[in-house]
A and B are shown apart, each in its own frame.
Chain A
Amino acid sequence: EVQLVQSGAEVKEPGGSLRISCKASGYTFTTYWIGWVRQMPGKGLEWMGIIYPGDSETRYSPSFQGQVAISVDKSINTAYLQWSSLKASDTAIYYCARLATMVFDYWGQGALVTVSS
């Protein structure tokens, strides 16, 4: 059974750094792209970027290029989304999802990130 299990909710202060994770199981991790999707409070879905765990090739949405970093550790089947300097506007739920045949077929449960002083 394919599963994507994300790390838990986080509360951080503005300017802080953060890395959230997404652990995959039930399939060959290195052969599917993994994507990250943002959902701000009460808003729709925004694609942030995707990474191919096999070779770490990464592609970012123009809206998020330079704002976040996506990485993987294929030894532990885990993808990461990282911020170096959080802003209040980063408050959102972040989902990881597996990309197959150009669609996100399996999703993580989501991780709520709250940035507040």
Chain B
Amino acid sequence: EIVLTQSPGTLSLSPGERATLSCRASQSVSSSYLAWYQQKPGQAPRLLIYGTSTRATGIPNRFSGSGSGTDFTLTINRLEPEDFAVYYCQQFGSPLLTFGGGTKVEI
């Protein structure tokens, strides 16, 4: 089973700063099958990035994804107030689907 470990657990930043979130897999993940989601309090998760680096429909270009193998990164340039949320990575492959534990981006 592939375990996804996200770090840091919490990221304290200010609007306008850059956020760099890490997702590390216990085994190699196909770059086609690594995604990122955003969840705000009281809301369902929202797909941000799929295939490691492709933004989902309507996602601003300040969000970008990169990585390969076991190390993946979500970068948020110039944080906007609405970007403060919890972010999860997700892989598809073994044992089908797993999510990381999440990173909270807070002010």
Contact = CB atoms under 8 A, between A and B. Distances in A.
Interface of A: 35, 37, 44-47, 50, 59, 61-62, 95, 97, 101-105, 107-110
B59 to A, nearest CB: 12
B50 interface: yes
Nearest to B48: A103
User: Chain A at the B interface: mostly helix, strand, loop or mixed?
Assistant: strand
Contacts of B47: 103-105
Given A44-B102, A47-B99, A103 B90 contact: yes
B18 interface: no
B39 to A, nearest CB: 8
Contacts of B96: 47, 50, 59, 61
Contacts of A105: 47, 50, 56
Interface band, chain B: 20 to 34
Contacts of A107: 44-46
A61 B90 contact: no
Contact of B50 (A35, A61, A95, A101): A101
A26 B65 CA distance: 29
8 contacts: A44-B86, A50-B97, A59-B96, A97-B45, A102-B35, A103-B92, A104-B45, A105-B47
Counting chain A CB atoms within 10 Å of each CB, which of B47, B97, B98, B102 scores highest? B97
A59 B93 CA distance: 13
| The 9 residue pairs across chains A and B that have the minimum distance between CB atoms | A102-B92, A107-B44, A47-B97, A103-B35, A45-B99, A103-B50, A44-B102, A102-B33, A44-B101
